[in-house]
C-alpha cells in the first residue's frame, strides 16, 4: 500500500496524467462580492449578534469538467493502474473488478476498466440518478442494483465476488483512491499560482498562497486526498457536508470524537450520502491536516447551485456546491475567516466535485 504523503500524490499524478483532464480553475468577482457581504440573520441566530463580515477571493477547481463529469476518474484510474502493477494484467483481466457507488465512482471505474480492457461489475443504488446509471452502462460495465445504504450495497458486492472472483476497488476507503483524488489539490495549487502570476489582483496577498481549500465530504476520499497533499503547506483544508437527515456524519463524528459508521439520508447532494471511510477518517480527524468540517441545509445548497448556474454559467450537481454554500451561509465558518483573514481576507480554493445531473433534476430542484 502506498503511504499517504504529498510525494505519493505527485507520483500518482504522473501515473494518471495520460488518462485525465487538467480541469480549469475559474474565478468570479460576483461570488467574491456576495460571499464578502454580511448575510441576513437566520432564524436560529441571536438577533443581537452582528453577522460575520469575512473577505473571500475564490478559485474554483472545476472537476465537473473532468472525464465522466467528476473528480472520481482520478482515483479510479490510479487504483486500477496500481492493481494491475501489483497483480499483473492477466489476473486482473481474468477476475475483473467490482465496486459500489451512487454514480460518480461507478462511472469512473467503468471508464477506467473500459480503457484498460478489464471487466467491471458495478453495484448501484436503485435510486441513483438516471444519467449516472446510463453513463456507467455506456462504458460496458455490468450494473447490479441495491438498496441505498452502504450496508445494502456491500452485501450485493459480496455476492458478486462470491460468484465471479472480482477484485474490490472501494469507492473511497482505499489508499490508492485517496492518492488519486489528492491530485486535485496538486493541480489546484499549480493553477492558482499560474493565475495569480498573470493577474496579481486576483489574490488577497502580496505573496500568493492559498489560505484554505474546501471540498465536499461524502466517503472522504477527495477531502483526505487534498488534505494529504497540503499537509506540508500553510494551506488549511476544510470539509463541507449537507445537514439533512444526518448526512453531516463527519462533522458530528469530529464533535463527539469518534467516526459515525452509518448514514441514511436522502439529501439532494446524492454523492454525499455515505459515511466517511475508516482510512479517510484517520486523515480528516487529524487536526494538523483538516481544520474542520461544516454543514449546510438543503435550501442553502440549492441557493449556491443557483448562483453557480446563473452567475458562473457552469453546470454542477448539488454535491459539488456544498463548499461554496458553507462560505456563503455557514456563520461559524464565516466568523473563522473574518477572524483569521482580517482586512486582507482569504484566498480560498473550492472544488466543484462533479456535474452529473439532468435538466429534469435541475428543473425539479428549482420548481
Give the active site residues: 72, 102
Q: Distances in Å between the alpha carbon of 67 and those of 13, 18, 53, 92, 283?
A: 15, 12, 37, 23, 26
- Phi and psi angles of residue 340, each rounded to the nearest 5 degrees, phi first: -80, -35
| Cα–Cα dist 88/105, whole Å | 23
The answer to whether the beta carbons of residues 303 and 329 sit under 8 Å apart is yes
| Cα–Cα dist 132/197, whole Å | 38
- Helices in 199-289 by DSSP H: which ranges? 221-229, 249-256, 278-284
Place of cell 459500489: 100
The three-state secondary structure class of 341 is: helix
Q: Which three cell numbers stand for residue 198?
A: 498573470
The order of strands in the sheet holding 120-125 is 142-146, 120-125, 97-100, 167-168
Strands (E), the chain: 25-26, 56-62, 97-100, 120-125, 142-146, 167-168, 212-216, 236-242, 290-296, 346-352
DSSP summary character for residue 246: G
Q: Which three cell numbers stand for residue 125?
A: 443504488
Amino acid at each position: 500500500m502506498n503511504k499517504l504523503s504529498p510525494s505519493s500524490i505527485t507520483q500518482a499524478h504522473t501515473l494518471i496524467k495520460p488518462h485525465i483532464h487538467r480541469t480549469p480553475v475559474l474565478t468570479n468577482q460576483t461570488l467574491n462580492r456576495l460571499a464578502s457581504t454580511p448575510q441576513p440573520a437566520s432564524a436560529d441566530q441571536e438577533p443581537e449578534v452582528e453577522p460575520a463580515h469575512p473577505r473571500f477571493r475564490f478559485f474554483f477547481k472545476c472537476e465537473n469538467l473532468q472525464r465522466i463529469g467528476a473528480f472520481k476518474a482520478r482515483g479510479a484510474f490510479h487504483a486500477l493502474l496500481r492493481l494491475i502493477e501489483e497483480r499483473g494484467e492477466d489476473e486482473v483481466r481474468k477476475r475483473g473488478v467490482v465496486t459500489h457507488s451512487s454514480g460518480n465512482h461507478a462511472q469512473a471505474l467503468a471508464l477506467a476498466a473500459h480503457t484498460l480492457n478489464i471487466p467491471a461489475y458495478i453495484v448501484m443504488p436503485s435510486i441513483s440518478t438516471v444519467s449516472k446509471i446510463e453513463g456507467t452502462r455506456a462504458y460496458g460495465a455490468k450494473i447490479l442494483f441495491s438498496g441505498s445504504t452502504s450496508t445494502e450495497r456491500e452485501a450485493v458486492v459480496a455476492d458478486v465476488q462470491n460468484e465471479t472472483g472480482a477484485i474490490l476497488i472501494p469507492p473511497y476507503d482505499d489508499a490508492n483512491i485517496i492518492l488519486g483524488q489528492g491530485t486535485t489539490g496538486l493541480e489546484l495549487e499549480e493553477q492558482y499560482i499560474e493565475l495569480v502570476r498573470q493577474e496579481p489582483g486576483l489574490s488577497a496577498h502580496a505573496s500568493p498562497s492559498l489560505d484554505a481549500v474546501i471540498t465536499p465530504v461524502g466517503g472522504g476520499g477527495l477531502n483526505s486526498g487534498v488534505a494529504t497533499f497540503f499537509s506540508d503547506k500553510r494551506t488549511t483544508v476544510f470539509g463541507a457536508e449537507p445537514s439533512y437527515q444526518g448526512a453531516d456524519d463527519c462533522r458530528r463524528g469530529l464533535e463527539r470524537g469518534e467516526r459515525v459508521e452509518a448514514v441514511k439520508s436522502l439529501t439532494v447532494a446524492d454523492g454525499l450520502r455515505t459515511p466517511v471511510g475508516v482510512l479517510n477518517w484517520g486523515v480528516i480527524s487529524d487536526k494538523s491536516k483538516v481544520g474542520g468540517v461544516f454543514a449546510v441545509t438543503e435550501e442553502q445548497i440549492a441557493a449556491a447551485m443557483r448562483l453557480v448556474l446563473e452567475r458562473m454559467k457552469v453546470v454542477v450537481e448539488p454535491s459539488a456546491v456544498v463548499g461554496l454554500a458553507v462560505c456563503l451561509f455557514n456563520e461559524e465558518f464565516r466568523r473563522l475567516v473574518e477572524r483569521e483573514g482580517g482586512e486582507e481576507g482569504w484566498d480560498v480554493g473550492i472544488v466543484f466535485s462533479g456535474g452529473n445531473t439532468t435538466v429534469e433534476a435541475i428543473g425539479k430542484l428549482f420548481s
